[in-house]
Amino acid sequence: MTSSLLDIPVKTADGRNTTLENFRGQVMLVVNVASKCGLTVQYAELEKLFEAKRDDGLVVLAFPANDFMGQEPGTEAEIVEFCTSTYDVQFPIFAKISVKGERIHPLYRRLTALAPEAIGEGPMRDRL
């Protein structure tokens, strides 16, 4: 098992292998995103937060996933183009991953294992 979240291999949207070690010492907001989702406007708010707090050490790390009703069908290049041209996103966007189920990426497997059990019901709650 990987010893740290920082050591888990991830890929950038342009296909480079990396880890979150590059962000050591920063506050990382890891976000599952989808550009064909009803919440796509989240990119604008995430970018505002990133711009406002990056000098204080915050970084937003976007991980697109197509696990929820096919809301992220595009290629990494299409996703980056959409995010930068529509919302002027400057924060890092990574390659598409799976964030649930049998194909869950090791990063999300670790993050969800560390998280307390979710409670409540609502339209944004997806049961595994």
Residues designated as active site: 37
Cβ(33)–Cβ(43) below 8 Å? yes
Beta pairing, strands 27-33 & 17-18: unpaired
Handedness of CA 89, 92, 93, 99 (dihedral sign): negative
Integer Cα distance of 81 and 77 in angstroms: 6
The residues facing 18 across adjacent strands are 10
Distances (CA, A) of 67 to 3, 31, 95, 99: 27, 14, 14, 7
